[in-house]
Amino acid sequence: MRLSAEQFAEFVSVMDHMKSPAAEQDKRRSARMELQAQVPITFISDDEPPKASVVEVRDFSARGIAVLHDSALPIGQQFIVELRRLKGRSISLLCTVVHSRPLADGKFNIGAEFTCVLQNPPATPVPENPKELTRIQKSVLG
């Protein structure tokens, strides 16, 4: 899966506003946008309930994301990253770990590729209309 150029630019713009003061000194540019921003992620496992965490983003590209984590993650591990947008709801991306490398400070550089965009629930619930509910029930139930 690949983010569109518009999506990538929008997320980079949002994360650029979330930079920590230390990131202001680093002005390097490359195919990947190097950042220091925090984003929420949720780990997915068949064996355990989802676990939420906040991680620091190291870099971001149209194909994936690199984050700092306290422990190594196995290749293939999946997590959901929640990215804010400039306007509207945030977007949830399913990510798959492609590498997990130890760093000198005891943390791990986790590289993950974007697997797909997940559908977010509606921002506001649809108001209940008794007539509409009755109509739908009749059509479904006969």
pLDDT digits (tens, 9 = 90+) for 57-109: 988 888 889 999 999 999 999 999 988 877 778 888 999 999 999 999 999 99
Place of tokens 């959901």: 80
Q: How confident is the model at residue 20 (pLDDT cuts 50, 70, 90)?
A: low
Looking at the structure of the chain, the number of domains it has is 1
CA distances for 17 relative to 2, 12, 23, 49, 90, angstroms = 23, 9, 11, 32, 15
- Domain of 54 in residue numbering reads as 5-141
pTM of this structure? 0.63
What whole-number percentage of the chain has pLDDT above 90? 28
The enclosing domain of 37 has a CATH number of 2.40.10.220
Residue 26 has pLDDT above 80, yes or no: no
Burial class of 77 by CB neighbour count within 10 A (0 to 12, 13 to 18, 19+): middle
| 3-state DSSP assignment of residue 13 | helix
| 3-state DSSP assignment of residue 137 | helix
Q: How confident is the model at residue 137 (pLDDT cuts 50, 70, 90)?
A: low
| 3-state DSSP assignment of residue 67 | strand
